[in-house]
């Protein structure tokens, strides 16, 4: 079972470049979310989606865009990378309020 | 807003001793609480959750957690720690206003020494 798949696992960007972090789940979960993890700050919510075509901002959305054209895919776009976006990014999905979230393995992004 | 707090950045315990990792919560409505563990350079693994029912919740790898409504706490416990339990532990609460996303605590680093 694949679960939640994130690509790439590692990425180095130059300041100002753009890129898309991919997230796909094969469990038919309606709810998906993106987090960033920084030392000493836990995981913070960037964007979330409650179903195909519906997205909204989380706690730290600036500099990021998302879309949800299908139930399976929830890509995160960095519009113009900045060193402050150096972080580890996690995608997660869940089918309902009672079930735990399933996480991808993460993408370690470095912006130089 | 739904939030959790982990008051300890690090917990040290000797192998074989009981361990406790603390978590307190602040919610409006019913709390849906979760514990996750993260090993170095890995993703998050689910340990256990409290949704409703018994206050003592049993989870993976011998971990359990006690839900205490009066103290608004959800502490993670294990009767006998293993060196392999050394990892980063996160408490989280579900936010119904953010598409059932999770609000995480800052994490507690657990170090179990031989």
Q: Assess A88–B contact: CB distance below 8 Å, yes or no.
A: no
Q: Assess A5–B contact: CB distance below 8 Å, yes or no.
A: no
Compute the distance between CA of residue B33 and CA of residue B48 in angstroms, rounded to an integer.
9
In chain B, which residues have their Cβ closer than 8 Å to the Cβ of A56? Answer: 98-99
Q: For A11-27, give one letter per residue: b (16+ CB within 10 A) or e.
A: bebeeeeeeebebbbee
- Say what the alpha-carbon torsion angle A36, B30, B27, A48 is, to the nearest 10 degrees: 30
pLDDT digit string, tens, across residues A48-73? 999 999 999 999 999 999 999 999 99
Compute the distance between CA of residue B2 and CA of residue A69 in angstroms, rounded to an integer.
29
Given a cut of 80, whether residue A1 has pLDDT beyond it is no
Q: Assess A45–B contact: CB distance below 8 Å, yes or no.
A: yes
Residue found under tokens 């409504």: B69
- In three-state secondary structure terms, B62 is helix
pLDDT digit string, tens, across residues A69-103? 999 999 999 999 999 999 999 999 999 999 999 99
pLDDT digit string, tens, across residues A7-31? 999 999 999 999 999 999 999 999 9
Query: Chain A residue with minimal CA distance to B90?
Result: A42
In chain A, which residues have their Cβ closer than 8 Å to the Cβ of B29? Answer: none
Q: For B44-77, give one letter per residue: b (16+ CB within 10 A) or e.
A: bebbbbbbeeeeebebeeebbbbbeeeeebbbbe
Q: Nearest Cβ partner of A97 from B32, B36, B44?
A: B32
Residues 6+ apart with CB under 8 A from B57: B48, B49, B50, B64, B65, B66, B67
**Nearest by Cα to B16 from B84, B67, B71:** B84
Percent of chain B residues topping a pLDDT of 70: 100
Q: Assess B40–A contact: CB distance below 8 Å, yes or no.
A: no
Compute the distance between CA of residue B113 and CA of residue A86 in angstroms, rounded to an integer.
32
B42 vs B56, residue with greater confidence: B56
Distance from CA of A95 to the nearest CA of B (A): 9
């Amino acid at each position: 079972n694949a679960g939640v798949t994130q690509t790439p696992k590692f990425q180095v960007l130059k300041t100002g470049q753009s890129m898309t972090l991919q997230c796909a789940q094969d469990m038919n979960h309606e709810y998906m979310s993106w987090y960033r993890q920084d030392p000493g700050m836990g995981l913070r919510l960037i964007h979330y989606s409650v179903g195909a075509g519906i997205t909204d901002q989380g706690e730290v959305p600036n500099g990021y865009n998302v879309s949800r054209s299908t139930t399976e895919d929830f890509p995160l776009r960095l519009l113009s990378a900045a060193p402050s976006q150096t972080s580890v990014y996690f995608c997660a999905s869940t089918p309902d309020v009672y079930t735990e979230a399933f996480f991808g393995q993460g993408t370690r992004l470095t912006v130089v | 807003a739904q939030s959790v707090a982990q008051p300890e950045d690090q917990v040290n315990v000797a192998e074989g001793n009981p361990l406790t990792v603390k978590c307190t919560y602040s919610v409006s409505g019913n709390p849906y609480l979760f514990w996750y563990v993260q090993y170095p350079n890995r993703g998050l693994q689910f340990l256990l959750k409290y949704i409703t029912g018994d206050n003592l919740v049993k989870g993976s790898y011998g971990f359990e957690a006690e839900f205490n409504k009066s103290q608004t706490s959800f502490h993670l416990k294990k009767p006998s720690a293993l060196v392999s339990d050394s990892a980063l532990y996160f408490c989280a609460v579900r936010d119904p206003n953010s598409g059932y996303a999770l609000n995480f605590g800052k994490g507690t680093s657990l170090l179990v020494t031989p």
